[in-house]
């Protein structure tokens, strides 16, 4: 099973966004975002809830009327028929017909995309296979498990063989096993060269699936690049030390802040230029009368980058 | 604890405008509608439209027509409404019958030649005597009864001299003859009665009468061959009301889809909002038409409704009604924000429309003002159309006013729904 993605579209970038602004009343949901997605790449939009990821995705799909800026999909304006034909959208909600079967749902969305009977039949079989729902094709959607619904939701967005797929938090509310299944489905698409935009607030998803990551907060892209670039640009060769102290109180918090650290999930995190600095840090804590319970050293990751740039955790 | 539960429920109710409307507004509106229909407010009591044909043109027939005209509960028409300000010729027996069949009025009174010679009869009816003909539309169960009673009353009150004159003839005939002196005194009394009548001292509106002194033959000219006369009326009346409920419920799928995100996904495909709404309209129209088909088939199978000889008219009215109710449902769904809101609003609006539009109670029995108000509803036009087909056996071409109004309504409602649906197109 494969999703052919080349040969029919022009040489323009799959997605080009320039100075995009969207306001809802007094709230600026997207604040001057500029992005480009090279062909065949998977770009992760990483940010906490309310960062503006979904608004950005909905703008690309043409479901949001923007206040400023431009979006082009393979050179065509967003919301044009040409853009619609090349775009696949997998919304965060389970946008399916619950009283229709899996097959009937796919047939309906295929027809909405203008697929004729022969192409439609092929596309439905292909999508059912990709989502491993072939043996559940006659099951009503309302009777499916959460993970199956998620997979069908994804398959419905790919029924018309788009060249660019927008996935808006496709693993929301699924168990770890189903999430892994979904990752494998997406990896298959990526391996076949499909261009993908993937929004998530799970750092591990972005690290596993995305070639490029754009970190979004308060409607702005605050950093973008490959995982390695983002970490390197933010931390250089520095490492992170995470220490947990007994009886964390105001005195502990004050000491942590005085030594350049910040609280993370009940622990304290420090950035060090070299691992040998750990000894000095531990000595200072002992002198301050803090009882160390646990200490670990680790290389910074995307979550560290986000925390460093925004002062907040991804899932705040 | 109990007070806390009551308090919570009250706050919830206060914030649920739909439930508030159903709890307090709908009952009051319904009460008012039925109070007006049945309450008998004198200034709004329904008047019966009567077509009168005077073939006799005698003094007695003229007095009878005049008496009928003075009757407050009747609207007497002796000729059709002017066309382009040109007065139309008086009704004849034939044109009056056609007019009753077309629903211009529920009854026609034909006063035959020779009526004036013996206008009033006491005792057994004389079969050789010219007799008044009542041409009835039996779909109106009240008007013929009312008119036949009023006919007797008018005879009593508007022609007392003729009654006395006729009475003296009977007395002369059956009492063995009057003396010349007795006959002179009787004639003098009748003359004085006539003078008082002509001077206006006695009016048709005064006094009370009893029945049986004017002989008449009643004949149903509409629905006379129907197996079950009121079935077609109720099939249409009840059918349209439930069609409205079904259509608004089906249109509510739009709200479900908007809520679940399916609408967004559909609109991100090649489907535009206009084509989406047209698709929904088509589906809802087909659903409504199918409902009508089922209802009329049931009427045919169980209640002997004559469906098969009226198929063209049924299809025309069925399609127009279905499209109108479907667009009405689309309009309601587009202006509501949630399913719950739609449920409350549609119940409110549909029950009111059905009550004044004739789905619950025939419009011809309502006060005139309410009959006119009913014309603002889909129910009234649809029921009128079906009545024309199944009751009056009118040709399809006569349906043009109903078709025009229903299709026009559908177009306007759909245009408004499309306009309001712009809120779903873009955030």
Is residue B218 domain-shared with residue B233, that is, in the same domain?
no
Span A30-46, mean pLDDT?
Answer: 93
Enter the tokens of residue B301: 């199978």
- Please list every residue in chain B whose beta carbon sits closer than 8 Å to the beta carbon of residue A84: 268-270
pLDDT by residue (tens digit) across B131-166?
Answer: 888 888 877 777 888 888 888 888 777 777 777 777
Q: How many other C-beta atoms are found inside a 10 Å radius of the C-beta of residue A32?
A: 14
Q: Is the pLDDT of residue B250 over 70?
A: yes
Q: List strands edge to edge, sheet with A292-298.
A: A262-264, A267-272, A239-245, A292-298
Is residue B55 domain-shared with residue B129, that is, in the same domain?
yes
Span A134-153, mean pLDDT?
Answer: 94
Point out the residue among B260, B270, B426 whose CB comes nearest to the CB of A94: B260
Residue B205 has what pLDDT? 36
Q: Does A236 touch chain B (CB under 8 A)?
A: no
Q: How far is CA B275 from the centre of its chain?
A: 38
In angstroms, what separates the C-alpha of A1 from chain B's closest C-alpha? 23
3-state secondary structure A21-41: EEEECCEEEEEEEEEEECCCC
Point out the residue among A64, A89, A113 whose CB comes nearest to the CB of B270: A113
- Tell me the domain boundaries of chain A: 15-231, 239-299
Mutate to test the interface with B, among A91, A110, A119, A155 (most CBs of B within 10 A): A91
Residue B386 has what pLDDT? 92
Number of domains in chain B: 2
In angstroms, what separates the C-alpha of B252 from chain A's closest C-alpha? 14
In chain B, the residue whose alpha carbon lies closest to the alpha carbon of A78 is B268
Span B233-239, mean pLDDT?
Answer: 84
Span B256-271, mean pLDDT?
Answer: 91
Q: Does A231 touch chain B (CB under 8 A)?
A: no
* Cα distance between residue B399 and residue B377, in whole Å: 17
Enter the tokens of residue B396: 């399809």
Residue B224 has what pLDDT? 65
Span B259-275, mean pLDDT?
Answer: 92
Residue B215 has what pLDDT? 74
Q: Is the pLDDT of residue B124 over 70?
A: no
Domain coverage including residue B302:
226-425
- Please list every residue in chain B whose beta carbon sits closer than 8 Å to the beta carbon of residue A94: 260-261
Point out the residue among A95, A113, A114 whose CB comes nearest to the CB of B264: A95
Greater confidence, A6 or B118?
B118
Q: List strands edge to edge, sheet with B48-54.
A: B74-77, B48-54, B107-111, B132-137, B216-222
Is residue B279 domain-shared with residue B385, that is, in the same domain?
yes
Point out the residue among B260, B270, B426 whose CB comes nearest to the CB of A84: B270
The answer to whether the CB atoms of A24 and B427 lie below 8 A apart is yes
Is residue B300 domain-shared with residue B159, that is, in the same domain?
no
> How sure is the predictor about B74, in pLDDT bands with cuts at 50, 70 and 90?
confident
Closest CA to A268 of A283, A277, A258: A258
> Regarding the domain delimited by A15-231, which CATH topology (the fold level of the hierarchy) does it fall under?
Rossmann fold (3.40.50)
* Cα distance between residue B167 and residue B185, in whole Å: 14
Q: Is the pLDDT of residue B176 over 60?
A: yes
> How sure is the predictor about A5, in pLDDT bands with cuts at 50, 70 and 90?
very low
**A-B C-beta contacts closer than 8 Å:** 54
Is residue B177 domain-shared with residue B230, that is, in the same domain?
no
* Cα distance between residue B33 and residue B27, in whole Å: 10
- Please list every residue in chain B whose beta carbon sits closer than 8 Å to the beta carbon of residue A114: 270
Reduced to 3 states (helix: H, G, I; strand: E, B; else coil), residue B113 is coil
Is residue B207 domain-shared with residue B241, that is, in the same domain?
no
- Please list every residue in chain A whose beta carbon sits closer than 8 Å to the beta carbon of residue B265: 89, 91, 95, 109, 156-157
Q: Which of residues 267-326 of B touch A (CB under 8 A)?
A: 267-271
* φ and ψ at residue A188, rounded to 5 degrees: -65, -45
Is residue B177 domain-shared with residue B293, that is, in the same domain?
no
Span B198-225, mean pLDDT?
Answer: 58
Q: Is the pLDDT of residue A286 over 90?
A: no
Q: Which of residues 86-125 of A touch B (CB under 8 A)?
A: 87, 89, 91-97, 109, 112-114
Span B348-375, mean pLDDT?
Answer: 87
Residue B202 has what pLDDT? 44
The answer to whether the CB atoms of A156 and B265 lie below 8 A apart is yes
Point out the residue among A63, A87, A96 whose CB comes nearest to the CB of B427: A63
In chain A, the residue whose alpha carbon lies closest to the alpha carbon of B270 is A113
* Cα distance between residue A287 and residue A309, in whole Å: 31
Q: How far is CA A82 from CA A60, A85, A242, in A?
A: 13, 5, 50
* φ and ψ at residue B138, rounded to 5 degrees: -75, 0
Q: How far is CA A161 from CA A4, A89, A112, A189, in A?
A: 7, 11, 13, 11
The answer to whether the CB atoms of A64 and B427 lie below 8 A apart is yes
Is residue B187 domain-shared with residue B294, that is, in the same domain?
no
Point out the residue among B270, B271, B426 whose CB comes nearest to the CB of A63: B426
Point out the residue among A93, A112, A114 whose CB comes nearest to the CB of B266: A112
- Positive or negative: CA dihedral B390, B394, B396, B402: negative
Please report whether residue B5 resides in a domain: no
Q: How far is CA B63 from the centre of its chain?
A: 30
Domain harbouring B215, CATH code: 3.40.1710
Q: Is the pLDDT of residue B73 over 60?
A: yes
Residue A314 has what pLDDT? 66
* Cα distance between residue B242 and residue B379, in whole Å: 10
Is residue B261 domain-shared with residue B172, that is, in the same domain?
no
In angstroms, what separates the C-alpha of A112 from chain B's closest C-alpha? 6
Please report whether residue B14 resides in a domain: no
Residue B45 has what pLDDT? 53
User: Which percentage of chain B shows pLDDT scores above 90?
Assistant: 26
Please report whether residue B100 resides in a domain: yes
Is residue B95 domain-shared with residue B168, that is, in the same domain?
yes
> How sure is the predictor about A195, in pLDDT bands with cuts at 50, 70 and 90?
very high
* Cα distance between residue A251 and residue A294, in whole Å: 18
Least confident range from A150-154, A249-253, B92-96: namely A249-253
Reduced to 3 states (helix: H, G, I; strand: E, B; else coil), residue B24 is helix
In angstroms, what separates the C-alpha of A66 from chain B's closest C-alpha? 9
Domain end residue (candidates: B222, B238, B271): B222
Mutate to test the interface with A, among B265, B267, B273, B424 (most CBs of A within 10 A): B265
User: Which percentage of chain A shows pLDDT scores above 90?
Assistant: 51
Please report whether residue B10 resides in a domain: no
In chain A, the residue whose alpha carbon lies closest to the alpha carbon of B265 is A95
Q: How far is CA B373 from the centre of its chain?
A: 12
- Among 2.60.290, 1.20.950, 3.40.50, 3.30.70, name the CATH number for the domain at A239-299: 3.30.70
Residue B370 has what pLDDT? 85
The answer to whether the CB atoms of A85 and B262 lie below 8 A apart is no
Greater confidence, B117 or A54?
A54
Q: Is the pLDDT of residue B201 over 50?
A: no
Please report whether residue B18 resides in a domain: no
In chain B, the residue whose alpha carbon lies closest to the alpha carbon of A92 is B261
Greater confidence, A261 or B326?
B326
* φ and ψ at residue B361, rounded to 5 degrees: -155, 130
Q: Please tell me the pTM assigned to this model.
A: 0.74
Span A21-41, mean pLDDT?
Answer: 93
The answer to whether the CB atoms of A112 and B271 lie below 8 A apart is yes
Greater confidence, B234 or A70?
A70
pLDDT by residue (tens digit) across B320-344?
Answer: 999 999 999 999 999 998 888 898 8
Domain end residue (candidates: B202, B222, B242): B222
Q: Does A27 touch chain B (CB under 8 A)?
A: no
Q: Does A35 touch chain B (CB under 8 A)?
A: no
User: Which percentage of chain B shows pLDDT scores above 70?
Assistant: 84
Is residue B173 domain-shared with residue B288, that is, in the same domain?
no
Q: Is the pLDDT of residue B86 over 80?
A: yes
* Cα distance between residue B19 and residue B9, in whole Å: 12
The answer to whether the CB atoms of B265 and A114 lie below 8 A apart is no
Mutate to test the interface with B, among A93, A107, A159 (most CBs of B within 10 A): A93
The answer to whether the CB atoms of A93 and B261 lie below 8 A apart is yes
Q: Does A64 touch chain B (CB under 8 A)?
A: yes
Task: Give chain B's mean pLDDT.
Answer: 82
In chain B, the residue whose alpha carbon lies closest to the alpha carbon of A67 is B427
The answer to whether the CB of A21 falls within 8 A of the CB of A179 is no
> How sure is the predictor about B123, in pLDDT bands with cuts at 50, 70 and 90?
low
- Please list every residue in chain B whose beta carbon sits closer than 8 Å to the beta carbon of residue A63: 264, 267-268, 426-427
pLDDT by residue (tens digit) across A225-242?
Answer: 998 899 888 888 788 888
Residue B379 has what pLDDT? 94
* Cα distance between residue B187 and residue B190, in whole Å: 5
Span B86-99, mean pLDDT?
Answer: 88
Is residue B242 domain-shared with residue B176, that is, in the same domain?
no
The answer to whether the CB of A151 falls within 8 A of the CB of A132 is yes
């Amino acid at each position: 099973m494969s999703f052919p993605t080349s040969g029919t579209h022009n040489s323009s970038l799959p997605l080009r966004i320039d100075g995009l602004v969207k306001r809802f009343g007094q709230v600026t949901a997207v604040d001057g975002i500029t992005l480009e997605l090279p062909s065949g790449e998977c770009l992760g939009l990483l940010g906490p809830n309310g960062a503006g990821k979904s608004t950005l995705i909905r703008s690309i799909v043409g479901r949001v009327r923007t206040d400023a800026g431009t979006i082009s999909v393979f050179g065509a304006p967003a919301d044009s028929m040409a853009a619609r034909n090349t775009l696949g959208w997998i919304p965060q909600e389970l946008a399916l017909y619950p009283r229709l079967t899996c097959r009937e749902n796919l047939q309906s969305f295929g027809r909405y995309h203008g697929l004729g009977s022969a192409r439609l039949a092929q596309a439905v079989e292909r999508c059912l296979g990709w989502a491993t729902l072939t043996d559940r094709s006659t099951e009503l959607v309302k009777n499916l498990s959460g993970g199956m619904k998620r997979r069908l939701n994804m398959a419905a967005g790919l029924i018309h063989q788009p060249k660019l797929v927008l996935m808006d938090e496709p693993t929301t509310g699924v168990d770890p096993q189903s999430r892994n299944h979904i990752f494998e489905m997406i990896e298959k698409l990526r391996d076949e060269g499909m261009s993908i935009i993937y929004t998530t607030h799970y750092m591990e998803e972005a690290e596993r699936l995305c070639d490029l990551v754009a970190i979004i907060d308060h409607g702005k892209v605050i950093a973008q690049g490959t995982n390695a670039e983002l970490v390197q640009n933010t931390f250089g060769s520095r490492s992170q030390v995470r220490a947990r102290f007994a009886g964390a109180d105001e005195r502990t918090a004050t000491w942590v802040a005085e030594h350049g650290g910040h609280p993370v999930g009940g622990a304290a995190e420090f950035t060090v230029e070299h691992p040998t600095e750990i000894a000095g840090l531990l000595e200072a804590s002992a002198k301050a009368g803090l009882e160390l319970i646990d200490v670990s050293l680790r290389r910074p990751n995307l979550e560290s980058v986000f925390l460093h740039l925004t002062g907040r955790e991804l899932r705040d | 604890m109990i007070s806390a539960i009551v308090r919570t429920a009250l706050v919830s109710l206060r914030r649920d405008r739909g439930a508030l409307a159903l709890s307090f507004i709908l009952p009051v509106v319904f009460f008012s509608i039925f109070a007006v229909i049945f309450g008998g407010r004198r200034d709004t009591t329904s008047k019966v439209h009567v077509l009168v044909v005077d073939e006799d043109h005698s003094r007695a027939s003229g007095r009878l027509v005049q008496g009928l005209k003075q009757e407050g509960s009747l609207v007497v028409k002796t000729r059709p409404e002017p066309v382009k300000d040109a007065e139309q010729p008086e009704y004849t027996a034939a044109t009056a019958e056609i007019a009753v069949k077309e629903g211009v009025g529920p009854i026609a009174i034909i006063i035959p030649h020779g009526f004036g010679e013996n206008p009033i009869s006491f005792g057994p009816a004389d079969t050789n005597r010219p007799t008044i003909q009542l041409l009835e539309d039996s779909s109106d169960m009240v008007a013929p009864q009312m008119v036949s009673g009023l006919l007797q009353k008018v005879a009593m009150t508007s022609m007392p001299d003729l009654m006395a004159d006729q009475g003296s003839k009977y007395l002369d005939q059956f009492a063995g003859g009057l003396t010349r002196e007795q006959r002179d005194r009787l004639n003098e009394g009748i003359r004085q009665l006539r003078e008082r009548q002509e001077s206006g001292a006695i009016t048709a509106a005064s006094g009370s009468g009893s029945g049986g002194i004017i002989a008449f033959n009643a004949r149903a000219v509409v629905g006379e061959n129907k197996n079950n006369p009121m079935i077609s009326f109720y099939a249409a009346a009840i059918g349209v009301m439930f069609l409205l409920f079904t259509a608004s419920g089906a249109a509510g799928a739009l709200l479900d889809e908007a809520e679940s995100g399916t609408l967004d996904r559909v609109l991100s495909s090649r489907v535009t909002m206009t084509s989406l709404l047209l698709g929904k309209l088509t589906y809802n129209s087909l659903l409504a038409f199918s409902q009508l088909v089922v209802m009329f088939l049931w009427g045919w199978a169980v209640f002997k409704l004559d469906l098969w000889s009226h198929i063209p008219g049924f299809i025309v009215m069925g399609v127009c009604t279905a499209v109108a109710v479907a667009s009405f449902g689309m309009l309601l769904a587009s202006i509501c924000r949630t399913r719950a809101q739609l449920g409350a609003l549609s119940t409110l609006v549909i029950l009111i429309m059905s009550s004044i539009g004739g789905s619950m109670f025939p419009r011809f029995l309502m006060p005139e003002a309410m009959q006119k108000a009913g014309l603002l509803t889909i129910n009234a036009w649809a029921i009128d159309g079906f009545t024309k087909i199944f009751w009056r056996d009118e040709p399809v071409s006569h349906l043009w006013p109903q078709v025009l109004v229903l299709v026009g309504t559908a177009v306007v409602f759909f245009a408004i729904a499309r306009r309001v649906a712009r809120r779903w197109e873009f955030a």
